[in-house]
């Protein structure tokens, strides 16, 4: 078997996939073995305390489906939006000498669009929290 693993097999030969097949068989066998062993050695007593959901030690109460203000979601979405836009500045910062003036004007245009979006959000009152 070791001879097959160390042999000079061409890349078109199906035997070159033998190490991958052995690794997959070993991984699947290990998974099956661990699942069987944990079920065999694991506790068998199912009491009411063990079957109860664990919620970080805090007693759960009420319904989880309560209405929530849209302002929280809007703020989160705006944060992600502007955070992703800021990420686009990184390639320019890395290669600003190579991009020259055309890169500078492109980034300036990008910042202009960025600021137009920000002004639009402010004028729409998206960040006002008082009702």
Q: How confident is the model at residue 89 (pLDDT cuts 50, 70, 90)?
A: confident
Which one has a higher pLDDT value, 119 or 44?
119
What are φ and ψ of residue 18, in 5° steps? -60, -45
pLDDT digits (tens, 9 = 90+) for 112-125: 988 898 888 888 88
Q: How confident is the model at residue 30 (pLDDT cuts 50, 70, 90)?
A: very high
Q: Answer whether residue 43 shows pLDDT above 70.
A: yes
Q: What is the pTM of this model?
A: 0.42
Return the CA Rg of the chain: 30
Determine the 3-state secondary structure of 61 from DSSP. coil
Terminal-to-terminal C-alpha distance of the chain = 75
Q: Answer whether residue 57 shows pLDDT above 70.
A: no
Q: Answer whether residue 8 shows pLDDT above 70.
A: no
Sequence-distant (6+) residues with CB within 8 A of 75 are 127
Q: Residue 128: what pLDDT?
A: 79
Which one has a higher pLDDT value, 69 or 35?
35
- Return the minimum-mean-pLDDT range out of 36-40, 42-46, 113-117: 42-46
Domain ranges of the chain: 2-51, 70-124
């Amino acid at each position: 078997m070791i001879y097959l693993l160390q042999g000079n097999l061409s890349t078109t030969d199906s035997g070159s996939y033998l190490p991958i097949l052995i690794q997959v068989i070993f991984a699947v066998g290990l998974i099956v073995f661990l699942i069987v062993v944990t079920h065999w050695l694991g506790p068998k007593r199912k009491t009411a305390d063990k079957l109860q959901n664990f919620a970080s030690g805090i007693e759960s109460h009420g319904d989880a489906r309560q209405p929530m203000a849209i302002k929280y979601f809007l703020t989160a979405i705006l944060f992600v939006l502007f955070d992703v836009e800021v990420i686009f500045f990184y390639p320019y910062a890395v290669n600003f000498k190579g991009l020259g003036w055309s890169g500078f004007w492109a980034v300036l245009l990008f910042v202009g669009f960025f600021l137009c979006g920000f002004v639009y959000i402010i004028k729409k009152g998206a960040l006002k929290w008082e009702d």
